[in-house]
Structure 1
């Protein structure tokens, strides 16, 4: 395996340095000043800055470059996630309905869910969720829930990405089967992963919807198949659906 240093991208590092310099300076900086402060060739600095201008990240002004409002998207996304995580943790501390179960908060990135926060139960599941873990959205409860609430064109684009290898014999095999179940998930307000990530584990996931009605995150509860009676699934499904709505209200401020 390659050493970590050999996997680094110098152009990306230089881009971050330039953005850091511009964010710390009250007025635009020119190529010469940026190159001098960072010890980089002017041609390299110019190429990066012009690329960022074309991408809408920087403004090109008579006296140099400055950050554009595009950068606010990143800070907004970070603050939103941080806010949701804080509220998620507060919910876990006060909602007794979730006390004995593994509970996770995740977001959707193309065909994967990325876990933002989790509380693993003391009860053995045979599977441990971790912050930063990525799983195929089509097999996970929150992934299913979020995908099912995306606008049709966005959902179709993601579902037509290369289909991930199944984790278990229960993993949904194709788009048609997924779409058929998605109608039920939308109606119920939560989706079910019945042994698709791990045999013997059942997860119920609900979408946290933003102001425009599209999912910004998802919350899920996990249990063993032995615990997941139909009565228990209905009870806990309603609980996470209600909690997701509460988190959505927090998100919209």
Structure 2
């Protein structure tokens, strides 16, 4: 709660309002300048400015309450519709997240004014779609260490990597199923990247089988083509590096792909020449 925020004071009962509903997370009360009778404001008790700042519990509480209150408004006022809106950033006059819920009637004076469309946005919808989707691909992903691999979930990676002429995902799956390499020894790990619960990338860390103790090896990195150039491969490799720092002095890898080789250099790996079992090395300590 912010001591100088009017929204915090309203939501926490420090300013008198006409409260309709309250729980431990949110407060709902009548707007003092209603668009129509029954105009409600929903505020979280904790201080937030915009929708994207809300924690999951608060967001769920607001959505649940707005649904129930909309039904109540319909039952009491029999409106032509219900409008639910909220303004963010500079347009949030309260500087505290709040949602408006109010009944609507034909010719009640509230209007959504169609813009002049000076930027020709209506004819650029495909471009807009691609811009938003690309941003989602770049940012809406989760990388986590997996303890149990489900081979069936790698079907897209397997198909696409084979089409590109790579066999390392096929080998990863076969070795895992056969128990040859489950990435479960001390200092080992397997990381998946998911977008909307779809596995779109993978990378592993093994004890190095060639150069003795204290050496780790990056294994089986692959990112699906449509998700490349969004920093996912870098973040997956960084996850492996951070894990390796806890167990190894050096981290090695082998690649015959020049583009991949340059990528690893940007992460601090040094190119090693004339060595059969490795092409790059990163000193960790």
What TM-score comes out, normalization by structure 1 length? 0.24
Greater RCO (CA < 8 Å, at least 6 residues apart): 1
Which is helix-richer, 1 or 2? 1
Decide which structure has the larger Cα Rg and report it. 2
What TM-score comes out, normalization by structure 2 length? 0.22
